[in-house]
Amino acid sequence: MSNESLKPFRNIETPGYVGFANLPNQVHRKSVKKGFEFTLMVVGESGLGKSTLVNTLFLADLYPERIVPDAIEKTHQIVKLDASTVEIEERGVKLRLTVVDTPGFGDAIDNTDRLKPLDIEFMKQLHNKVNIVPVIAKADVLTKKEMLRLKKRVLEEIESNGIKIYPLPDCDSDEDEEYKEQVRQLRESVPFAVCGANTLLEVRGRKVRGRLYPWGVVEVENPDHCDFIKLRTMLITHMQDLQEVTQEVHYENYRSERLAKGAPVPKRQTPSVFEEKPPTGDKDRILQEKEAELRRMQEMLAKMEAQMQQQQH
State the Cα–Cα distance between residues 17 and 91, nearest whole angstrom: 9
Name which position in 140, 221, 227, 305 contacts ligand GDP (CB under 6 A): 140
Nearest approach, Cβ of residue 259 and ligand GDP (Å): 38
Scanning residues 238 to 297, which ones bind ligand GDP (CB under 6 A)? none
Nearest approach, Cβ of residue 64 and ligand GDP (Å): 12
Nearest approach, Cβ of residue 119 and ligand GDP (Å): 13
Helices (H), 59-143: 71-75, 117-126
Q: Does 138 bind ligand GDP (CB under 6 A)?
A: yes
Q: Does 216 bind ligand GDP (CB under 6 A)?
A: no
Q: Does 191 bind ligand GDP (CB under 6 A)?
A: no
| Residue 203 CB contacts under 8 Å (≥ 6 apart), including other chains | 210, 217, 219
Q: Does 141 bind ligand GDP (CB under 6 A)?
A: yes
Kind and range of the H or E run holding 202: strand 200-203
Binding mask 45-74 for ligand GDP (x = CB under 6 A): -xxxxxxx----------------------
CA–CA distances in Å: residue 46 to residues 75, 117, 221, 267, 310: 12, 16, 24, 33, 21
Nearest approach, Cβ of residue 142 and ligand GDP (Å): 10
Q: Which residues are bridge partners to 133 per DSSP?
A: none
Which is closer to ligand GDP, CB of 8 or CB of 196?
A: 196
Which is closer to ligand GDP, CB of 8 or CB of 103?
A: 103
State the Cα–Cα distance between residues 238 and 183, nearest whole angstrom: 10
Binding residue count for ligand GDP, defined by CB under 6 A: 14
Scanning residues 150 to 179, which ones bind ligand GDP (CB under 6 A)? none
Measure the CA angle with vertex 109, ends 107 and 112; round to 5°.
Answer: 100
Name which position in 104, 106, 134, 196 contacts ligand GDP (CB under 6 A): 196
Q: How many CB atoms lie within 10 A of CB 110?
A: 5
Which is closer to ligand GDP, CB of 186 or CB of 231?
A: 231
Q: Which of 270, 273, 237, 238 is nearest to 254 (CA)?
A: 270
Nearest approach, Cβ of residue 71 and ligand GDP (Å): 14
Measure the CA angle with vertex 165, ends 47 and 17; round to 5°.
Answer: 60
Which is closer to ligand GDP, CB of 205 or CB of 213?
A: 213
Nearest approach, Cβ of residue 63 and ligand GDP (Å): 8
Binding mask 26-45 for ligand GDP (x = CB under 6 A): ------------------x-
212 Cα distance to chain centroid: 25
Q: Tell me whether strands 36-42 and 93-101 are parallel, antiparallel or unpaired.
A: parallel
Binding interface with ligand GDP (CB under 6 A): 44, 46-52, 138, 140-141, 195-196, 211
